[in-house]
Amino acid sequence: MSPVTVTVTVTVTVTSRSSSLLVLLLLLLLLLLPRQDSEHAQYYTREVMVILIREFSSPDDEMKRIVLKVVHQCVSTQGVEASYIREDILQPYFRNFWVPKNALDKKNYRQLVDTTVEVATKVGG
């Protein structure tokens, strides 16, 4: 099975699962996304970002940690455009993650900072 087929299957499955299975599927996607060519990576990033943005507001700390890792990977993947990040990801990302509770959380703050740096690097050039 090619990486594209696996990613399509994972993307379709991710849209309709419970949170524990969603975490596993997002981790799988985290491993598959860098192995895509830039055209496919851009397409699958757009597909999974809808789910990730929905999960930005999740109260579950483990889900937030996984979402941050996947956002970091999606943003750093070649083929994902800065304009897409600027228009679709920045506002919900900062609205949901850069709040005092998350910024002061000792378990998540390193991943939050690393992801923000990657987003800023991609958007800012």
82-93 tens-digit pLDDT: 999 999 999 999
For 73, the token pair is 């990977």
13-37 tens-digit pLDDT: 555 456 778 888 888 887 888 888 8
CB neighbour class for 14 (10 Å; exposed up to 12, middle 13-18, buried from 19): buried
CA–CA gap between residue 117 and residue 125 (Å, rounded) = 12
Question: Which residue segment(s) compose the domain that 120 sits in?
Answer: 3-124
CA–CA gap between residue 114 and residue 119 (Å, rounded) = 9
CA–CA gap between residue 91 and residue 116 (Å, rounded) = 12
The whole-model pTM stands at 0.80
Domain count for the chain, please give it. 1
